[in-house]
Amino acid sequence: MASALHKMVHQLQAFLAEVDPQRVTTVQAAQVVEDLCHIERLATAGKLLFASRAAGSTAVTDQGHTTPAYWLAELTKTSVGDAISTLETSRSLAELPETAEALRSGTLSGAQAKEVTRAATKDPTSERELLALAETDSLKGLQSRARQVLAQSASQEEEEARARAIFQKRSLRHYLDHEGFLRLDARLPAEAGARVVSSIQAEADAIFRQARLDENPESPQAYRADALVALVTSRAQTGRAGANAHRGRSGARTDTLVLRVDAAAARRGYVKNGEMCEIAGIGPTPVATVRRIWPEAFVKGVIRDSKDVRSICHFGRAVSAHQQTALEERDPTCVWPSCSVAVGLENHHFVRDYARCGTTSLDNLARVCARHHDMITYGGFVLEGGPGQWRFRAPPDSEDDRGQRLRDTG
């Protein structure tokens, strides 16, 4: 077995030594990349299948390594943390035969395998569901579902113990990367992290609005970086965290949290399979945490089986706080297809303009970025559809409209 594997390694080395990427067609190059990606998945699968067994080898100590993780990190030229994660995944595969089989076939990547094994080790009944999700959804979607499985608890005591464990592991470190940037790596409890993110986003929105007036736009990431510096340094200069420390340049309180929780989980004290308890934009959080922070003034709650916010309609242009919370949850980014802008979004009456209908209802609202709002208001574009089915209709006889009609007629 080992000799056959060595032979394949030498064949691949010989292929890479001789091939010239500039002397093949683009179609051939695409096929080579596809084949190499398959080889990469298979190589990762082999590493995961054999790593836990190899960890007991004398080769680890013979080469001067104190732990298998240090040995594997040196061998793979990755961090010790990555090596530890690989070994944990490898050990879990012994109890998850379907995941091991998916790895052997090359249909599961290493990153997917780590997500599946983490969650399925806690709840083996979720293994098949997660493997099916890995075939059809993105890695981000798989990670989201895996976090939900890991957030499940068997009792309120277990849920509270998980919340305490998260708090005890909080940390913050910094380092300079190869480009000279200062990088921050923070591990915060979900509610603390949500306050940080919310404050940064509110300050970034204020900076964006000013930059828009100055006609000097930059990326949303740049505005969030500026917001972090502005918030941290201004608080350090004032030397206190009083009322003003929670306000951005807009003057509004910045650390508002939106909690989404199933009523049954809130009453019970812990989350069961299929239920939700999370901080919007952050992810799952223990019910114990939600119960602790729920009474605080800066928390907005969305109970999933309670009031149907879609039925709310009031007379007046202003959007109520209840509607705004639901709208921000439904439309976290601009609804224009393929637009991912999340900074400086504006509420738009997309079904009927306020001047004609005179009411403000959630069913008639959508959040759009400044550029697309201008295209609707001044460019004649029309927003149609609804949540999950958004589409824009170009002005009649415009170039975009003619192109769309040609595509529709095939």
The neighbouring-strand residues paired with 365 are 349
How large is the average pLDDT for residues 91-115? 92
Does the pLDDT value for residue 240 go beyond 80? no
pLDDT digits (tens, 9 = 90+) for 372-389: 887 887 778 888 877 778
Q: What percent of the chain has pLDDT over 90?
A: 27
Give me the pLDDT at residue 210, please: 81
Greater confidence (353 vs 40) lies with 40
Give me the pLDDT at residue 188, please: 92
Spatial neighbors of 115 by CB under 8 A, at least 6 apart, are 130, 134, 139, 142, 143, 146
How large is the average pLDDT for residues 260-270? 81
pLDDT digits (tens, 9 = 90+) for 59-99: 888 888 889 999 999 988 888 889 999 999 999 999 999 99
pLDDT digits (tens, 9 = 90+) for 21-68: 999 899 999 999 999 999 999 999 999 999 999 999 888 888 888 899
Greater confidence (129 vs 287) lies with 129
Does the pLDDT value for residue 227 go beyond 80? yes
Give me the pLDDT at residue 239, please: 44
Give me the pLDDT at residue 334, please: 87
Burial of 89 (0-12, 13-18, 19+ CB in 10 A): buried
pLDDT digits (tens, 9 = 90+) for 168-185: 999 999 888 888 888 999
